[in-house]
Amino acid sequence: MTSTRSSSAAPSRVSKPSPSRRRAVVGSALAAALGMVLRNPAHAQQMQTHLAPWVKPKPKGPTVFLDYDQEELDAAYTQADWSRNQAEVASRNAQKSAGVVARLGAPKRLAYGPSDAEKLDLYATKAARAPIQVFIHGGAWRRGSANSAAYQAEMYVDAGAHFIALDFNNVDETKGSLLVMAQQVRRAVAWVYRNAATFGGDAQRIYISGHSSGGHLAGVVLTTDWQREAGLPSDTVKGGLCASGMYDLHPVSLSARAGYVKFTREMIEALSSQRHLDKLAAPLIVAYGTLETPEFQRQNREFAAAVKAAGKPVELIVLQGCNHFEVQETLGNPYGPVGRAVLRQMKLDQRGNA
């Protein structure tokens, strides 16, 4: 019997791809993965969007309010990050203030409360029983003074109104409490009401205005229960301007400002004027600039919308091409949109005719 020996075939040799081929395969795989990411944004790293135009965005961190991460929210409540000409605007305002004091004379310095800080500057008009504009300065609740607002006085005095600028403690002096500051500016308005006749003012025509953190405090004044707080009529204030302010303190309490303001639930509730529109008894002007931070734009836009939805009179002025400090600079200009609106609210014109 003849046996046959079967021999196994020699193994075939697998050729390795060339380095160039390997690079091509890897490149194709990466391109496919990138295409998947682009087609499915959920897989993409989202970048920050709420920063000043000249700030390079980074990958967005965890959101803390709306779609802001912490860095974005901090920036949205830090006006200097968005306004490179802050110092130049302040210099212009100081020059205008010096000119106003030279023309009108130094203001009368009067005390409205017991503490050293509770004083006001009064620029009196010659008209008898004249309306009164009370201004609350801003400065992130930490800075600012009555004398820095002198540049606004001439518009009102020439139009036949008294102009009063308030001083009050800053938040560092009140150990982080905005409640103390709110009580001081309310006390100032009550003092003006009770003492208007002593300087030729009309207690029935008191108006309030404020910018930035002063806009916040103006909102607080406008939504005050005057009968409960001071035994005064509910319509003690006849009209108001809130310029570039904050009206809901919740998002502010999540920002870097919490590093120096001791926010509490009580404070946020009591001093968020948008939550107390039932107490608003006066027509309102709200103003902001298109180059302000996104949060300041949102706060003013939504405040005006809430007032309108509550069925109360409100005029929204959007200043094109103005940053936060340029909005402040427009105050006191009788020919600008804000100055015209305030004089109209007070039933005055540039020539002092009521």
Please state, in angstroms and rounded to a whole number, the distance separating the CA atoms of residues 293 and 218.
20
Residue 76, both tokens:
């949205």
Ranges of the chain with pLDDT below 70: 1-44, 350-354
Instruction: Specify the DSSP class assigned to residue 274.
Output: G
Judge contact between 118 and 168, C-beta under 8 A. Answer: yes
Residue 354 amino acid letter = A
Residues near 191 by beta carbon (within 8 Å), at least 6 away in sequence: 112, 113
CB 282 within 8 A of CB 312: no
* Correct CATH for 79-345 of 1.10.3720.10, 3.40.50.1820, 3.30.70.100, 3.30.390.30: 3.40.50.1820
DSSP letter at 125? -
Instruction: Give the closest residue to 210 by CA, choosing from 340, 338, 72, 77.
Output: 338
H helices of the chain, in order, are: 19-39, 70-76, 86-104, 153-159, 178-195, 213-222, 226-230, 249-253, 265-270, 294-309, 324-330, 337-345
Domain parsing of the chain, residue ranges: 79-345
Quote the pLDDT of residue 2: 41
Q: What is the pLDDT of residues 113-128, one digit of tens each?
A: 999 999 999 999 999 9
User: How high is the pLDDT of residue 223?
Assistant: 98
Query: Can you give the pLDDT at residue 10?
Result: 44
Task: Give the model's pLDDT for residue 45.
Answer: 80
Give the pLDDT of residue 303: 98
pLDDT at 349: 79
**Coil, strand, or helix at residue 200?**
coil
